[in-house]
Amino acid sequence: MTFTNQITAVATCRTPYKQKFGIPRQPGLVKARGYVELEGHVNHLDAVRGIEQYSHLWLLFCFHENLAQGWKTTVRPPRLGGNEKLGVFATRSTFRPNGIGQSVVKLHGVVQRKGKVCLEISGMDLVDGTPIIDIKPYIPFSDSIEGAVGGMAQEAPKLISVEFSDLADEQINTYSKQEAYTDLAVLICGVLGQDPRPAYKKAKDDPKLYQVALYDLDIFWRMAVDGDDREYIQVLELKPGKCG
């Protein structure tokens, strides 16, 4: 069946995540704040009248950065170490036939920014600039199913410890004095604590220096091991980024 109606974005999501690497793999894992900016003919307060009675929203969006790569019938979920294949419809892979995803986010209120009606949200797992194709209220009695089975993702991923070098700690203290970076340390710990590395990197010693773009900053970090053979993530320094 082919549909002739063209789907267009109704909004754009603004988030601290400037690149795909480091974005939480599911919504709600990191309490980062962002905005959903209404676009075009729906950029009107009437379109969101009454929405503040809901604590959470469903965002239907487009995996716009993956569309050119096409889709796959089977994928290798990171949860399974990247070694086992599952059908695309048995996962939340970004490589889907129609490139459509959905996320539940917390709603904090309706504001107007730069001439646009915006929904202030948190807990999103979306790269900055993601096109939103629909917004729906989260209904607890029907959307939360008691006793539901989550397959390979029944529980939230375990977090790894994140520590800051003296330089990084000093830089964060400086940036945190600016309103835009108030929760910078919490955001960094939330993002890196999930260990965003590819699954195959986690099974061996990894000396690589990594970089994650948050807001307009590049965060440089590496894996480290303490005297008790405890593995942790060490944030080395922050630099002005190229993605802002």
Domain 11-152 grouped into CATH 2.40.30.70: yes
Over its length of 244 residues, how does the chain's per-residue pLDDT go in tens digits? Answer: 566 568 899 999 999 999 888 888 777 778 889 999 999 999 999 999 999 999 999 999 998 877 778 888 998 877 776 678 889 898 888 888 888 999 999 999 999 998 999 999 999 999 999 999 999 999 999 998 888 887 777 777 788 899 999 999 999 999 988 888 878 999 999 999 988 887 777 766 788 999 999 999 999 999 998 878 888 999 999 999 865 4
Q: Return phi, psi of residue 150, to 5°.
A: -100, 15
CA distance linking residue 218 with residue 215, whole number of Å: 8
| pTM, full prediction | 0.84
pLDDT of residue 244: 46
b/e for 158-185, b at 16 or more Cβ within 10 A?
eeeebebeeebeebbeebeeeeebeebb
pLDDT of residue 1: 57
Residue ranges per structural domain of the chain: 11-152, 162-240
pLDDT of residue 50: 97
Give the N- to C-terminal CA distance of the chain in Å, as an integer: 41
